[in-house]
A and B are shown apart, each in its own frame.
Chain A
Amino acid sequence: MEIIGTALNRVDARDKVTGMAKYTGDLVGPHALIAKVLHSTFANGLVTSFDLSEAWKVPGVVDIVTCFDVPDIQFPTAGHPWSTDKKHQDIADRKLLNTRVRFYGDDIAAVVAENEIAATEAVRKIKVSYEEYQPLLTIEAAMQAGAGAIHDERPGNVVVRSSYEIGSFEDAIKEPGLIRIEGDYETPIVQHCHIEKALSFAYMEAGKIVIVSATQIPHIIRRICSQALGIGFGDLRIIKPYIGGGFGNRQDALTEPLNAFLTMRVGGRPVKLEYTREETFCCTRVRHAMKFHIVSYVRADGTFAARSIVAYSNQGAYASHAHALVANAVNGFRMMYPQGAIKSEAYTVYTNLPTAGAMRAYGIPQIGFALESHVDDIARATGLDTIDLRTRNMMKLGYVDPPTSITCHSTGLAECIQKGEAYLKYRQKREAYAAQTGLVRKGVGMAIFCYKTGVYPISLETSACRMVLNQDGSLQLQMGATEIGQGADTVFAMMAAETLGMTMDKIHVMSRQDTDTTPYDTGAYASRQTYVSGMAVKKTAESLKSKILDFAAFMLNKEAWDLDIKDNQIVRKNMGTPLISVAEVAVESCYSLTNSTHIAAEESHHCSDNTYAFGVCFAEIEVDIPMCQIKVLDIINVHDSGRLINRQTAEGQVHGGMSMGLGYGLYEYLKFDPKTGRMLNDNLLDYKLMTAMDTPELNAAFVETDDPTGPYGNKALGEPPVIPVAPALRNALLNATGVAVNSIPLNPEKLFFAFERAGILS
């Protein structure tokens, strides 16, 4: 392969760094109305009435809608492919505005005004009367007997309970000589913090509602809006320009359904609904907080005889992606170490907190922290080597996961571990750091992961692509799959160029999706696009190529099977001698007086396979015990994501994921008032996202395998880099201090209390 695997600049780099690239906010016209949402100031209760009289007096107010004015339709918001099987459909549990309030910040009314100040002032002047119930802010409170139902459809507040058992756990633990290790692990609520806040603008045109939105999933948004408003798919048109990050938050319907309703209310005038940063924190989606109880039975040689897990996932107020997250987590618990009997029980629980949805790696960072912390706890209890313990038990080539049949088609995990170990000199340092006594100590830690590529067979995997040849031999590449900053457009262009035998400058990616004209694809999530949508690119490129060669054969009076394309030239297949350029074929095909044909190709690909990506993080830290601070001295992620499409953007993905993992491990968590459920740190000052000054040098390395199922040998890479960082840091802290902290983030105040309990503070 000539283009695949090289390090090329992004196709959108020039537009993005010069400010030419258009984002949603850039496309709003000068006369758009501004909408603002009134959010509840209580977490659990019922709106009984509004007094709008003062709000209506504010000059510039065009419309005010309340939860009593919206259609009586409950709709789902999760950005999953729709299932025509009722049993697998997403939970429809919210309305456009809600009378039954379920978290502090719930949408209860909205104002449309001529400008932002009028809209904001009118929202402040709406008076709300309500009945308030006791807020249920923890999983324990929500599951307690007698706790009121947050949703009438789910008395007891458990959204879903699921379980599985591989082999017999009870039989397996009877084996003599097993060592039992038990632990509880907990992960916090965090937020995506994409730079561009949640926003959309909506207007009506040609009898349709048009919504321009910062979303990862335009085709799915069209379906959700159609369900929310009770109108046809074809009555809606979703346009997705460049977006400033998503990380899963935009794999959900956010502002779009309400905004569609608002433009209808004002006769189709354009309405912009842009959340503030505070609203983006509180009123979009967050990562599920999870709690895990893990019990392992281990043989003296380190092999796992039996393991069990009980998992609780804090869903917050509305179902969104619901149980899919914790189900993914407990599946990951099984897949990573498939040895022995495995038993799982998982609960997703409604609480009166902001709604949890998709976020980079979808439940796996949570289980990754719990499981990889637990494996180090096993090593500590048994005296076994942390690397031997993992390699002995981890997934091997050829593994077929019993419930899902997902097969390990390729793995470079063992090599990833070797590479990372050699880089950090992990074993040597781990031993050296084991018995320190000073106030400043060093430690090393590691963690591994596996991650699926896409959602098959849990959900549908499908993608379509279109290519249209221009008269100069260049082409438009049109994807339903979305560019969300991860570099999708660039790798699709590289794939097209590779398969067509053309150079990158001939591929014009039409980045913007418009559901009226763009081929279907479910969108950017699950690290699926390079794999699934890549298959559609390959298929379409092959189809286009054969059409070009057919026409060239006609022009040259040769057989198409004897022709190929190389560097934009039609060549004899085996000899490589240029015969005519693609441009000449393109011109002739367009203007031929006898055989004109507009060469284009469109193919859709239904994907029915999946494959595992793997990787490892190794980290070295320094702990200043009296200052309760961790400094990362060195950190490396080594990934097996199959063959890399673009080495440069692959590294970029790893750096971004590691940064997110460092934040998850050391800094970030959302805080709530324990009485009211109000989010306390809903801004980028109080929510401690790392700054450049907090970020250590990030090292990304790869072990390339050639996956037989990937369109170009490739596997998942977008989400995985975030997964192993937090547990590697936690295990490094354990190595440095002997203190096992089983919850993240490992922030100074938590370390203060942990060190105080351990008696090492002074």
Chain B
Amino acid sequence: MYDFKTLYEASSVEDALRLRKDHPKALVLAGGSDILIKLRGEEISGCELISIYALDELRGVCLEEDGSLLIRPLTSFSDITMHPLIKQCVPVLGEAVDQIGGPQIRNIGTIGGNICNGVTSADSASTLKAYDAVLELASFEGIRILPYAEFNLGPGKVDLRPGELLTGIRIPRESWEHTYGEYIKYAMRRAMDIATLGCSVNVRLTADKQRIDRLRIAFGVAAPTPVRGRTAEAAAIGHALDAALLDIVGEGSLADVMPRTSWRASKEFRLHLVQELARRATIAAIGKAGGTIND
């Protein structure tokens, strides 16, 4: 038995926005894989829920006219992994969300829910950060476009205003074109786990595949929110594909992270992983881009 007071089922996006306005304290229920767990605790028991799960208009992936990849927020993790456009444009995102939980969770859990929860361990978050994703937030006030980089305000806190609903996640063409990524989820086991550390790297190589044209790197669980490693990114621009690049990326990543010691893992261990995963993800991303690391 689940302890909630009322369940409102939205019949359209407009209906959902009205429910959001009328019931400002109600929680938005998408796949429910986080909320149903939280309902067992004292924190949100007895709450009101607005289910948007039936809104198929918020499902799916498409390529827009300007080449932006649009992911609707209710798309399940398994649908993202299997989608041909994801495989074509950002396969790393499909690979990242394929490491969430188990098959049942990936069938019910949604990418919108994953990022709106605002937790640093969200497996989709570091890849979306690293691809400079842009969010579409709808309300009766209109549509607000917000870079995902500015969405996370703190642990579990996101810039989702009262009455707003996430209706789209965009990855611009310039961001995914000629770009190859790798996500490494480091966890205590190979399934049904949350990341001890997550690292997503993507690279665009120069035409001769000898140098880094652009490298972007983001981490989960390395700070209170998912973070970009801007220092490492800046240092990597134009760099040759060699061992020094890996040192720059590994050590440079330390400048932008601030993991903490929790009962799940110590700061020292996480800092070690930041460097090791940054190196390994960089090697793999370069490999996918058709480059090789020269010794």
Q: A interface vs B, CB < 8 Å?
A: 115-117, 120-121, 124, 276, 626-628, 667, 671, 673, 680-681, 684-686, 688, 690-694, 747-749, 752-753, 761
Contact = CB atoms under 8 A, between A and B. Distances in A.
Interface string B31-45: 000000000101001
A714 B266 CA distance: 49
Given A115-B1, A749-B266, A685 B189 contact: no
A105 to B, nearest CB: 16
B194 interface: yes
22 contacts: A116-B1, A117-B1, A124-B42, A628-B269, A667-B188, A667-B189, A685-B192, A685-B193, A685-B194, A686-B264, A688-B189, A688-B193, A691-B102, A693-B189, A693-B190, A694-B189, A748-B188, A749-B265, A752-B269, A752-B272, A753-B268, A761-B272
A195 to B, nearest CB: 14
Contact of B190 (A115, A117, A694, A752): A694
Contacts of A747: 188
A154 B183 CA distance: 55
Nearest to A745: B188
B6 to A, nearest CB: 14
Contacts of B189: 667, 688, 690-691, 693-694
Interface of B: 1, 3, 40, 42, 45, 102, 186, 188-194, 196, 263-266, 268-269, 272, 276
> Which of B264, B265, B266, B272: most chain A Cβ within 10 A?
B272
A685 B196 CA distance: 12
B3 A121 contact: yes
A671 B1 CA distance: 29
Interface secondary structure of A, over-half rule: loop
Contacts, number: 55
Contacts of B102: 691
B188 A691 contact: no
Contact of A680 (B188, B193, B194, B263): B263
Given A116-B1, A747-B188, A752-B268, 13 more contacts: A124-B42, A276-B40, A627-B276, A628-B269, A628-B272, A667-B189, A681-B263, A684-B192, A686-B264, A694-B189, A694-B191, A749-B266, A761-B272
B269 A749 contact: yes
B257 to A, nearest CB: 17
Nearest to B188: A688
Contacts of B3: 117, 120-121
A671 B266 CA distance: 14
B269 to A, nearest CB: 5
Nearest to B276: A626
B269 A748 contact: yes
A690 B189 CA distance: 7
Contacts of B268: 752-753
Contacts of A684: 192
Contacts of B264: 686
A116 B186 CA distance: 38
Nearest to B189: A694
A124 B41 CA distance: 10
A283 B190 CA distance: 28
B253 to A, nearest CB: 15
Contacts of A115: 1
Nearest to B186: A627
Nearest to A278: B40
B295 to A, nearest CB: 15
A367 B264 CA distance: 28
B12 to A, nearest CB: 31
A694 B14 CA distance: 45
Contacts of B40: 276
A111 to B, nearest CB: 15
A16 to B, nearest CB: 21
B276 A693 contact: no
> Which of B191, B192, B193, B266: most chain A Cβ within 10 A?
B192
A691 B263 contact: no
> Which of A117, A671, A681: most chain B Cβ within 10 A?
A117
Nearest to A683: B37
B172 to A, nearest CB: 34
Nearest to B194: A685
Contacts of A673: 263
A699 B135 CA distance: 51
Contacts of A691: 102, 189-192
A519 to B, nearest CB: 39
A690 B265 CA distance: 18
Given A117-B1, A627-B276, A693 B269 contact: no
Contacts of B193: 685, 688
A622 B276 CA distance: 18
Contacts of A686: 264
A117 B47 CA distance: 13
> Which of B40, B189, B190, B263: most chain A Cβ within 10 A?
B189
B250 to A, nearest CB: 10
